[in-house]
Amino acid sequence: MPLSREQKQKIVQDLKEKIERQKTMIFVDFSGLGVKELLELRKNLKQSDSLFKVSKKTLFKRALQSFDESLASCIDQLKGELGVVFGFGDEISPAKVVHRFSSEHNNLKILGGVFENKFITKEDVIALAKIPTRQELLSRLVGSISAPLSNFVNLLENNIKGLLFVLRAIK
């Protein structure tokens, strides 16, 4: 049953609100996924403060035109059924969740996305997904900062141990 004009306007308005709040958008082709897999994807995305929305390309393009005309023209390039992942929290976590899910389920295909209000390709989304998390980067930084100090302590400790071995041998 076709949608009425009022229903379409309501969908476009809802999409506009989500587009204005988003920090990242990822476009996926979800054809071939079952209901169970879609529910699993939505659950995983909800944990990372993200939302999966299915929309007709024409309605999504109309909503995106009010936000950025150049992004709206990129929608025509996307093939397949359009699913949009809106990331409201961290910019990278939606890409990580979608990439992990697409590697487990071959029917979900990443088509591209919007990052910092610019259209990015599938390869860019995958590159974003492979970036370490903030926590991992901070732990690497702390390890790098503490390494010279711990090496210096070990060096001093080894000299004292060497002296003790020499004294025991003389004894």
Do 99 and 169 reside in the same domain of the chain? no
Distance CA(91)–CA(68), nearest Å, equals 19
Residue percentage of the chain with pLDDT more than 70: 99
Do 156 and 124 reside in the same domain of the chain? no
Which comes out higher in pLDDT, residue 135 or 123?
123
> Which structure tokens are listed for 86?
């809106």
CATH label of the domain that carries residue 56: 3.30.70.1730
**CA 72 to chain centroid:** 21
- Provide mean pLDDT across the span 30-34: 84
Do 106 and 150 reside in the same domain of the chain? no
Computed from CA positions of residues 30, 35, 37, 41, in that sequence, does the dihedral angle turn out positive or negative?
A: positive
Write down the mean pLDDT value for the chain.
Answer: 85
**Predicted local distance difference test score (pLDDT) of residue 1:** 59
Distance CA(20)–CA(129), nearest Å, equals 23
Do 125 and 67 reside in the same domain of the chain? yes
Do 116 and 60 reside in the same domain of the chain? yes
Domain with 147, as residue range(s), is 133-171
Q: What are phi and psi of 16, to 5 degrees?
A: -60, -45
Task: Give the total number of structural domains in the chain.
Answer: 2
Residues 67-109 have pLDDT tens digits of 777 777 787 778 878 888 998 888 888 888 899 988 888 888 8
**Predicted local distance difference test score (pLDDT) of residue 117:** 81
Separation in Å, CA 130 to CA 33, 46, 94, 96, 141: 24, 20, 12, 7, 18
Separation in Å, CA 16 to CA 19, 44, 65, 157: 5, 23, 9, 64
